[in-house]
Structure 1
């Protein structure tokens, strides 16, 4: 049996601001923006190529303090290109950092160990790791 992670809820204080950041700043696709009532709204967004989406919203999502989610991680095959895209879109992202030594031989020196970091407008913390090929 496969167990797939399909949705992660990201706590935000301003749904419209967060939707703009994730859609325009990060290039996530807006899967749906559903108003359930006066006090409930759910927006689902998916990173390009991902099988897992994020949900932001109000009223119909668990009560978590905005900005309290840390350690979300995206994986890309080309970290330099991904970082350049984010900078071009106006996202404040760290310089590329090499963390440790690669656990196995790789075709690129950043594979497994190259990371950049950023936060959304509420302070939810993300990392992007380079993995260009898998065993």
Structure 2
């Protein structure tokens, strides 16, 4: 494994869980499982982002409707989203964004799939 490949992924930030009802899921994960709610926001009209995690955990769970515009995916951290995007395209991976997305208030990011079709997202860490 090359140093470039080894350093491309820095951590697992979050894992999405598809849910039928975000309110019901939020109640279950917080009141039954003991997770804390880290975010419950509308990131754009009609796109609600609910984030929970066990206390002290660095990895969060995103409770998303299966039909959400926010991808149900594993979110990974990377030090350089542009370099990771180029590396995946060079490797022939299915990259869903022609270029790294740069939305106001959000880290640079892009979505892709692994060889088995699992959805992944890279988010650049600051």
TM-score, structure 1 as length reference: 0.42
TM-score, structure 2 as length reference: 0.45
- Structure 1 or 2: more strand by fraction: 2
- Structure 1 or 2: more helix by fraction: 2
